[in-house]
Amino acid sequence: MPVRVCDHPLAQHLLGRLRDKTTPPDQYRSYAHALSMILALDATRELPVARFTVETPLTRTLAGQLDQGLAVVPVLRAGLGMLDAFLNLFPDVAVGYIGLERDENTAQARRYYAKLPILDTRFVICLDPMLATGGSASQAIHLLKAHKAATIKMVCVLAAPEGVAKLQSEHPEVEIITASVDESLNDQKYIVPGLGDFGDRLYGTADTPAGLHID
């Protein structure tokens, strides 16, 4: 499945604000929310729509309504920064959570928490802002498949070519929606040029140089 890069001018404007290392956490959260709303609309364009009859003030006419349930599953903790956009747009959405952390000795992601709704009848979106090596995202998608998710989309703010390649190798049917595919990973597996650690910048806990991320 090809990568879908959201090239809407506003999405690229917001991404630029997120890349800027001088953007403070309060503004960062605002920009992240706005960009996530754009990505949410892009990711859900294939949701099925049913027709029904409605009375307008003037006459009867056909209208549309969503015809499939939606489930959104953020990867903790950074994925929480994208969740509210989906909650605002889709008030009936079901929400699950997957907690993954990196083992500094093996560089592999370890799952420490998972809570998922029923997925087999829902359109499922996995949220992980930074698709770097792709290890965390791939693990999350394996878990979603184990819970019988049929249609899965991966939504991230940034992706590295290495992460894209891993998902396309292990989950070729999963479409990736992102605001940018960046240049590469550096020797420490950080996205370049990147935007820093999304979670740390979102919550004001940054203690590493700008540009680093280890998902």
Query: What's the chain's Rg over C-alpha atoms?
Result: 18
The mean per-residue pLDDT over the stretch 116-142 comes to: 93
Residue 103 is among the residues annotated as catalytic for this protein: no
Residue 207 is among the residues annotated as catalytic for this protein: no
Q: Lowest mean pLDDT: which of 14-23, 58-67, 152-161, 202-211?
A: 202-211
Q: What is the pLDDT of residues 8-64, one digit of tens each?
A: 999 999 999 999 999 999 999 999 999 999 999 999 999 999 999 999 999 999 999
- What the chain holds in terms of domains, given with CATH numbers, is 3-46+70-203 (3.40.50.2020)
What confidence score (pLDDT) does residue 142 get? 94
pLDDT higher for 32 or 200? 32
Residue 200 is among the residues annotated as catalytic for this protein: yes
What confidence score (pLDDT) does residue 209 get? 45
What confidence score (pLDDT) does residue 211 get? 40
pTM: 0.88
Catalytic residue among 42, 128, 182, 197: 197
pLDDT band at 150 (very low <50, low <70, confident <90, very high): confident
Catalytic residue among 106, 120, 187, 207: 106
Across the chain, mean pLDDT equals: 89
What confidence score (pLDDT) does residue 87 get? 95
The mean per-residue pLDDT over the stretch 100-107 comes to: 67
pLDDT higher for 209 or 78? 78
Catalytic residue among 42, 128, 182, 200: 200
**Residue 82 Cα to chain centre, angstroms:** 7
What confidence score (pLDDT) does residue 212 get? 42
The mean per-residue pLDDT over the stretch 106-111 comes to: 70
What confidence score (pLDDT) does residue 105 get? 63
Residue 197 is among the residues annotated as catalytic for this protein: yes
The mean per-residue pLDDT over the stretch 70-92 comes to: 92
Residue 109 has pLDDT above 90, yes or no: no
**DSSP-H helix ranges across 92-195:** 135-146, 161-170
Residue 215 has pLDDT above 50, yes or no: no
What confidence score (pLDDT) does residue 214 get? 41
Dihedral sign for Cα atoms in the order 46, 50, 53, 54: negative
Largest pairwise CA distance in the chain: 68
Confirm if 49 and 64 have CB atoms less than 8 A apart. Answer: yes
Confirm if 93 and 86 have CB atoms less than 8 A apart. Answer: yes
Catalytic residue among 4, 29, 77, 102: 102
Residue 108 has pLDDT above 90, yes or no: no
What confidence score (pLDDT) does residue 22 get? 92
